[in-house]
Amino acid sequence: MTASRHLAFLAFLLLLCTSVRAQNVTPPSAFLPHALGETFTPHYMLVDYYQLVAQESPRVMLEQYGTTNEDRPLLLAYVSTPENLARLEQIRENNLRRAGLLEGTTVPALDDIAIVWLSYSVHGNEAAGSEASMGVLYDLADRIMPRPASGSRTWSY
């Protein structure tokens, strides 16, 4: 191999390593000035962390659905594959049809998509839920979730 080919190969490896690293999500411990759960995390830091994870991961989408009485944003975080995030409304409507709450026929291709609702800290002075939510968001956003084999309902991590 010539020197120019070696250099090109090394540049390619560097680019590959950089792009792989860019897909990683910042853990709460690297973002917060304290260990996760060690002390109360102010709401603005919680929001900032959620926004950071949504920027870093194509698997996370944020939606602000309201504000608190102190004008703080209330957020909903969707975590899924980029393909599912692009068709959230179709998935929601299909789920409503399956439950008999919306007329029409279901879309079989959407029938096996699980929907899980995790709600944290409905009261602002209860810190455990919001603290835990950052760790759960990190675990879900950073993990590569392979699809189970055809016919299998078992996920492997």
Q: Kindly report the average pLDDT of the chain as a whole number.
A: 82
Q: Is residue 57 part of a domain?
A: yes
Q: Is residue 64 part of a domain?
A: yes
Q: Is residue 102 part of a domain?
A: yes
Q: What is the pTM of this model?
A: 0.75
**Interval 1-21 mean pLDDT:** 42
pLDDT in tens, 49-107: 999 999 999 999 999 999 989 999 999 999 999 999 999 999 999 999 999 999 999 99
CA pair distance 145, 153, nearest whole angstrom: 13
Count of domains for the chain: 1
pLDDT in tens, 38-54: 999 999 999 999 999 99
Residue 12 has pLDDT above 60, yes or no: no
Tokens of 55: 């920027």
Q: Which pLDDT belongs to residue 151?
A: 58
